[in-house]
Amino acid sequence: MPFRATSAVALLTLAFATAAGAATHPLSTIAERSGFQKTGRYDEVLTLCGGFQKLYPRYVRCIEFGRTPEGRPMVALVVTRTGAFTPEAARRQNLPVLLVQGGIHAGEIDGKDAGFLVLREALEGQAAPGALDKQVLVFVPVFNIDGHERFGKWNRPNQRGPEEMGWRTTAQNYNLNRDYAKADSPEMQAMLRLVNEWDPLAYIDLHVTDGAKFEHDIAIQVEPVFAGDDALRRVGRSFRDGVIKDLAAQGSLPLSFYPTFNVEDDPTSGVTDVPSTPRYSTGYFLLRNRFGMLVETHSWKDYPTRVRITRNTVVSVLQHIATHGKEWARIANDADARAARLAGRTVPLDYEASEKTRDVDFRGYAYTRTLSEVSGTLMTRYDESRPQIWKIKLADDVRPKVSVAAPAAGYLVPAAHAAWVAQKLQQHGIDFREVRQPLNQAQVETFRATKTAFSEASNEGHHRLALEGDWKPEARDIGAGALFVPIAQPKARLLMALLEPKAPDALVAWGEFNTAFEPKEYMEPYVAEEVAREQLAADPALAAEFKKKLAEDPAFAKDPAARLEFFYRRHSSWDERLNLYPVMRTSVVPR
């Protein structure tokens, strides 16, 4: 049967089932009762959360795990037939935990309505029969709650339905799916507490794409697949491919990569598929040795279609966790143990695709690219009445882009930065301890930046910083009150992603240590001139070095400030801490 017919039959089946049950079921949603033309406000989520617990008291708990900046409760439903309604109970019973999260971008709200539908069907044995006997499901209907309540039409102008929806970012204008590593927002800090408590085996992040018009209706991406622990990569690929197979059998056209073109609005430019950095959910959870799944329905499908496909995805995930969860959890625990033995080993911090590509068939539409009199550039116009197979170049030969050897023992954070760094480490569940005695002339590795580049524009409230340089041995005095962060722990990869200065989402990359790379003291030019003459007269070798640099470096020769700094750097007043990253590596565990 052609895809369109299959999709229509499945959609009608869902519509009939919904129409028959929504009028009488006490836990039906506004979405169901409207034929999936509308979605409810957050008060509906609170009502349903309590309603599920009241109607299914043996199987559901409604919990609050945080408050938003505007004071709204952040709620999750803990759903299981095992009685394990606490993290401790789940661990005692050796049960895998599945965390499904909707509404991180609150205009992309398919996951909320699909999730409530799945819960009801699973609890009543209509979907994923027996799955709740073998796992604990933690369902967060809406992550970005304040954004959800910034409700209105056209909040997602490139999306078909619902009639009104929430806003992409939080009340503080944070994009939560850029916040996993830096954890600035109160919402993310609450989510990380929930994650640290429950330690979910898999974290399912429900979204809707932007982008071009085409026939594919969903993309499923999982990590570890390209990155992270090798054994988990094999499981991640099986998990991803199993869900994709289930969706295809139900009439969908799923993709295993995010369908965004290398050149915006140009299908001929191809697609590149590489692991996300840990600011994103899928890039973050692989560093915890757990599975992150990014689910992206296609924005140009209508809301009933998108909710149905999201519902099918969550059901598939429940079934796979029920079937394989205990075995996958064992492999994940083994990965924890392997991560605790990374000391001295080379660890990739960032990835890229090689120039190698392969041709894939992509279900698009006929299109034209013509010069627009409005924008003045080439614009693509799609004809949805004419499906067309595109041959696109997919670059997915993934290679490490940045790799660093893990420290032999761990990291040292001086007392001046200990308080706020400790708070960040606690948010991520990373182990550390205070060094109570001073370390005099400790043999450590330090990172002195040879080049710094601050971003001109603010990104998520930060002026990001790119550094060049390398770790080098050095003896330094480290006062009492410093932090020692051991590399021998399960979250070693996450630790390196936060503290290695070349990691793309390290704390230093997000500008958290910017003051260390800002000159604060200076020497007046007329003073530097006098100092330079004294140094030249006193040190013939220095005079020769200066003369050689003038001859070999034309840019230096033409730069008066650089010429004077040449001498200032050799003066005792020079700030030796300038461009010194305020985190050190150690090969010795301090007492």
Domain identity same for 97 and 20: yes
Domain identity same for 241 and 371: no
CA 428 to chain CA mean position, Å: 13
350 inside domain? no
Domain identity same for 145 and 186: yes
pLDDT of residue 210: 84
349 inside domain? no
Rounded Cα distance, 406 and 429, in Å: 19
DSSP secondary structure string for all residues of 37-102:
S----HHHHHHHHHHHHHHSTTTEEEEEEEE-TT-PEEEEEEE-SS---SHHHHHHTT--EEEEE-
Domain identity same for 319 and 448: no
Instruction: Read off the tokens for 443.
Output: 């043999």
172 inside domain? yes
Domain identity same for 17 and 150: yes
Domain identity same for 437 and 312: no
17 inside domain? yes
Domain identity same for 164 and 48: yes
pLDDT of residue 459: 97
pLDDT of residue 591: 87
* Three-state secondary-structure class, residue 510: coil
Name the burial class of residue 413, with classes exposed (0-12), middle (13-18) and buried (19+) by CB atoms within 10 angstroms of its CB.
buried
CB 101 within 8 A of CB 206: yes
pLDDT of residue 296: 98
Domain identity same for 395 and 410: no
Instruction: Read off the tokens for 326.
Output: 């205990």
588 inside domain? no
CATH of the domain at 111: 3.40.630.10
Q: Which domain holds residue 116?
A: 3-339
Number of domains in the chain: 4
Rounded Cα distance, 544 and 133, in Å: 79
Q: Which of 320, 424, 335, 336 is nearest to 100 (CA)?
A: 320
352 inside domain? no
Domain identity same for 168 and 200: yes
Binned average pLDDT, 10 residues per bin, the chain of 591 residues: 39 46 80 97 98 98 98 98 98 98 98 98 97 98 98 95 98 98 98 98 96 95 98 98 98 97 91 98 98 98 98 98 98 98 98 97 95 92 96 98 98 98 98 97 97 97 97 97 98 98 98 97 93 96 96 97 94 93 98 87
pLDDT of residue 21: 54
589 inside domain? no
Q: Phi and psi of 277, rounded to 5°? A: -80, 165
CB 161 within 8 A of CB 141: no
The Cα diameter of the chain in Å comes to 96
pLDDT of residue 12: 43
CA 263 to chain CA mean position, Å: 23
Give the start-end residues of each E strand in 209-323: 218-223, 254-255, 271-272, 291-297
175 inside domain? yes
Domain identity same for 315 and 228: yes
pLDDT of residue 5: 36
Q: Which of 272, 270, 263 is nearest to 378 (CA)?
A: 263
Domain identity same for 470 and 553: no
pLDDT of residue 2: 35
Domain identity same for 195 and 87: yes
pLDDT of residue 20: 46
Give the start-end residues of each E strand in 455-548: 465-478, 482-486
pLDDT of residue 39: 98
CB 364 within 8 A of CB 384: no
pLDDT of residue 294: 98
